Structure formats: C-alpha cells, structure tokens
A and B are shown apart, each in its own frame.
Chain A
C-alpha cells in the first residue's frame, strides 16, 4: 500500500492533491474526505480553530494506522493531509483519500481511518471566538 502523510501549516490545496492522484488499472474506487472548520462550536460562533499537534507522535500513530489498514483492506494507496495552526471557518483542516478496488472497501477504510485518527493522533484544537 502506497502511503503519504503531511501535517502542515500550509492551506490544503485540493486541486493540487487531485492532480497528483495515481491509480493502477485494477483499481475502481476512490473515496476522499474533506473536513472543514464549522462556523459554530456548540452554540458559539467562531472565526477559526487553532490546531496543535505533537507532530512526531502524530506521524508515528498515523503510520501505525496505515499498517493496520493495509492488513484489513485491499487498498492501493492512502494520502492524508492534516493542517495545523490557525484554520479559518470554511477552510479545510483534513483531507484523506483512499484508492481501492471496490467502493465497499474504500469507503470502509476511509471511514475507519478518520475515526481512528480522531481517537489516537495527538492533535488538539482550540476555538477562536468570532462575531456573536
């Protein structure tokens, strides 16, 4: 399974990521997920989220997830970009793409990876107050 992982303060460039997609002829499914910062946190309006990561550990833990993913599903490739630092409302904070043979395994693997990322990757977010 090919794997890419980027934790960056730079904005997520979806167009560039999609242009870099590579898949072999045996693959029939691409699932990708974009997580976007909402304008509310609970009942409060926010203008941004400030993300902080323990980057070395986050990279290690996500690579462990990739190892587990490769055992569970026949996935050809996975790419994940997580933004850190200040991410404004409406901007993406997370981009994940899974390429597999069929939609079932690609959807399942992508969903699992997001859920596990939220459980084990040492990344935190702090809301930045917006206009009330």
Chain B
C-alpha cells in the first residue's frame, strides 16, 4: 500500500522536502513508517522522541495501523500562541 507523508516546520529542513510517499506492506504501523523515513532522511533520527504524528487531522500514536491512501503528517512539538 502507498501512503503520503507531509513534513512541517523545520522537519522540511531535516528532510529537504515538504512531502513524499512510501510503499509499505499491509499492516504496517506509523512506527514502521517512521523507521523507513529515518533510513531515507537520517536527520529525522535526532527528533525520534520529539516527533508528533498525525493521520489526516488526528494525532495518532506509533502503534496506529496504516491504510492505503492515508495522509500522514510529521512535525516537531507545536508552538502556537
């Protein structure tokens, strides 16, 4: 299955892109997606513990099981206000 991944804030600098896509086996979790992304974009590793993840417009934890077509977003801790 294929999912799209968007990066926000300085994650765009860490990855050098605003978005990408990833082909994953069925049943893959957000955590397995993140590990693949770290392999492609090694600078993401330094944010391993601070990365927030969303699918669509909802926060999800790393055990979330992905589905075909999911729109995943990765970003650092938020700082509104």
Beta-carbon contact of B8 and A114 below 8 Å: no
Output the least CB separation between B19 and chain A (Å).
12
Residue B59 at the chain A interface, CB threshold 8 Å:
yes
> Does any Cβ of B come within 8 Å of A74's Cβ?
no
State A122–B6 Cα separation when bound (angstroms): 13
User: Which of A13-21, A52-60, A97-105 contacts the other chain?
Assistant: A52-60
Query: B residues engaging A (CB < 8 A)?
Result: 6, 8-10, 52, 54, 56-59, 73, 75-76, 78-81
Docked complex Cα distance between A124 and B76 (Å): 9
- Which residues of A are interface residues toward B (Cβ below 8 A)? 35, 51-54, 56-58, 60-61, 82, 93-94, 114, 117-126
Nearest CB in chain A: distance from B59 CB, A: 7
> In the docked arrangement, what's the CA distance between A16 and B56, Å?
34
A35 in complex: contacting residue of B10, B52, B75, B81, CB < 8 Å = B81
A93 (CB) vs chain B CBs: closest residue: B81
B81:A122 contact, CB within 8 angstroms: no
CB pair A57–B79 under 8 Å, yes or no, is no
- Chain B: minimal CB distance from A83 (Å): 10
The answer to whether B57 and A124 have CB atoms under 8 Å apart is no
